[in-house]
Amino acid sequence: MTEAVTLDHITIVLHQPRYPENIGAAVRAMRNMGIGKLTVVDPREYDLEKIRKMATHACLETVEGIQLKATLKEALEPFQYVVGTTARLGGQRRTSAPAAMAEKLIAVSRENQVAVVFGREDRGLANDDLVLCHELVHIPTAEFSSLNLAQAVMVMCYELFNAGSESKPAFAPRMASRRELDDMLDQLKEILIKICYINPENPDYWMHHLRQFFTRIQARAREVNIIRGLIRQVAWHAEKRYRDGLDDGRGTPGEKETEGCG
């Protein structure tokens, strides 16, 4: 048995768009395919009149509901699943085709808020932006590969609409939001520095692979809460051992803080 699904849990995110006309054209493409939520991050120019004109009168509700954010990290905090679009291939960029990604997102979106992120027109998403994404999608083209921003949005929205028109129910648990995941990683970094597992001089370098790992495994919200509980317990035990050492006269605070952190 099949059932129609809505796309209410899917949001299009435009990161640093350069032209308000492109924002308006993206709104029009979204609404044609039944997607009504748009977040715009750090636009170079945000002219509502130009956006409305390009979006047309029928899309004014979406234009008025645009969420403006200063940073991509802030914009992605509410979402449990984030997909970034990229025109570049190779290296460590593992990508999926739009149709395959759309089928997956329809299932995921039943219990999770999903963001599909598009970068700026001239250079797309930077490597630092891609780190915030669970997966990447690549729109294949012929030899001339320059897609307009609104065209790229239309391709993805069409595939989502097509995949969601008649979709078999599929179980997809609620995953940790980007904010929940980042808070856990910040907490993990702090305790790893305290127990001398990573170099305090450059902790972000050592955290890079852990960040990639936890993003790739698509951790559930419950799993993130369990890990945070474990981190708190490690921190409590380390502090207790430290205090016990002081009470036994085996060292001074200065000595205990630096011991074993060469």
Q: Which residues in 124-151 are b (16+ Cβ under 10 Å) and which e?
A: bbeeebbebbbbbbbbeeeeeeebebbe
Cα radius of gyration (the chain): 22
DSSP per residue over 179-192, as a string? HHHHHHHHHHHHHH
Residue ranges per structural domain of the chain:
10-165, 178-258
- Long-range CB contacts for residues 93-96, cutoff 8 Å, separation at least 24: 93/130, 93/136, 94/135, 94/136, 95/136, 95/137, 95/138, 96/135, 96/136, 96/137, 96/138
Structurally, what CATH architecture does the domain formed by 178-258 represent? Orthogonal Bundle (1.10)
The fold of the 10-165 domain, in CATH, is: Alpha/beta knot (3.40.1280)
- The pLDDT tens digits for 126-164 are 989 999 999 999 998 876 666 899 999 999 999 999 998
pLDDT of 234 reads 86
| Side chain identity at residue 151, one-letter code | Q
Give 241: exposed, middle or buried? Use CB within 10 Å, 0-12, 13-18, 19+. Answer: exposed
What number of residues does the chain have? 262
Cα(65)–Cα(37) distance, integer angstroms: 7
User: With a threshold of 0.85, does the pTM exceed it?
Assistant: no
| Side chain identity at residue 142, one-letter code | A
pLDDT of 90 reads 64
Q: Are 202 and 40 in contact (CB under 8 A)?
A: no
Cα(88)–Cα(30) distance, integer angstroms: 24
Look at 243 and 117; give whichever has higher pLDDT. 117
Using the predicted structure, report yes or no on whether residue 207 has a pLDDT greater than 90.
no
